[in-house]
Each structure stands twice: as C-alpha cells, then as structure tokens.
Amino acid sequence: MPDVNPPRLPAVLPNREHHPMNIRPAGPDDAAAIAAIYNHYVATTCITFEADPVSVADMRERITETLAANLPWLVAEGGGEVSGYAYGSRWKGRCAYRYSVESTVYLDVSKTGQGVGKVLYAALIEALRARSLHAVIGGIALPNEASIALHERLGFEKVAHFKQVGFKQDRWIDVGYWQLLLA
C-alpha cells in the first residue's frame, strides 16, 4: 500500500442542525467512548455479528492496529463528546487485495438521523481516497434501510447478497455488500 499521509480534515463541519461537529482522527484515548457506542449495537441489534461486549482494552487494540496499518479511524465530536466513528479495515489478507478495504460506521444512537453519519462517512471515504485505495466495501446486516440509504447516497452500489450467513438473537440474518470505486 502506498505510504500516503492522511488528508487534512476541516476542523469543524456543520451537521443538518447547524451544530458544530468536529471530525478528527481517533486515538487510543477514544476507546472508551467508541466501545460504549459499539456495545449498544452488540447488545441490542443484529447490525453487528459480535455477541459479547467489547472491552475498552480490546477496542484500544483495534484502533491501534488500524492506525498502524496506515488506515483511517475517525471520530465525530459534538459538544465535547464522541458521537460516532468510522474506519477502514483490510478487506482480505492476500496481497492482491491491498487496495481494497472494508468500511465501518457507527453512531451514538441519540445522534442518528441528524446528518452526522453522512458527514463522518464522507470524511472516511476521502481519507481512504487520499491513501490511494481503490475499492471500499461496506457490509450491511439486513434489513437495515438507514445504512443502505447512507451507502447509496454516498455512491455505493449493491454488489452481493448472502442469505442466512449470520445467526444472532435467535434468527438467521442476511448480509448485503455495497461497493464504491474510488478511482
């Protein structure tokens, strides 16, 4: 993967309600806030296939590993609190996949529907583009109309649908994949 410096992000971006929102690179100190956001989805939804809460230490390690791989992990802040995060991770381990990444975005449940996700995810896409990556792949546990709409608003196209590949909360779950070519 080319060694490219991450892009400079604007210090403050407006959300739909015109409250200031800061998008910045995440660091290990954000692990507790990120784990709190994520663990809500682990415990209450099928959006993630993880079944057990993620500890702050494990989340810190995930952030550190992502950054060490020269991939972006961003957080959105509003009012001094982390309101969401997005990151890129390796799509597959084989060398030929090195220009393709999987994208992930999660918001504090109280921040959904306010435009935070769109601004945060767009910033992630630009950070991936700045690293000369070629393809971004977003996996979505189905049904999830809000996530589908977000991906498609940002130019992703559905490329795959796997039936009943996950089992959580006593039911089988389909997964769809949406892809965006950056070049």
Note the pTM of the prediction, 2 decimals.
Answer: 0.88
Give the helix/strand (H/E) hosting 86. strand 81-90
Q: Which DSSP helix (H) or strand (E) runs through 31?
A: helix 31-44
Q: Top-level CATH class of 13-181?
A: alpha beta
90-113: average pLDDT = 95
Give CA angle at 58 (113, 114), nearest 5°. Answer: 10
pLDDT for residue 19? 54
**pLDDT band, very low/low/confident/very high, at 49 (cuts 50, 70, 90):** very high
Q: Which of 120, 35, 18 is nearest to 75 (CA)?
A: 120
Q: What are phi and psi of 50, to 5 degrees?
A: -70, 140
Residue 162 Cα distances to 47, 99, 173, 174, angstroms: 15, 23, 9, 6
Cβ(113)–Cβ(156) below 8 Å: no
Asked whether residue 181 carries a pLDDT value surpassing 70, the answer given is yes
Q: What is the per-residue pLDDT for 7?
A: 42
Q: What's the pLDDT tens digit per position in 144-161?
A: 999 999 999 999 999 999
C-alpha span between 19 and 181 (Å, rounded): 31
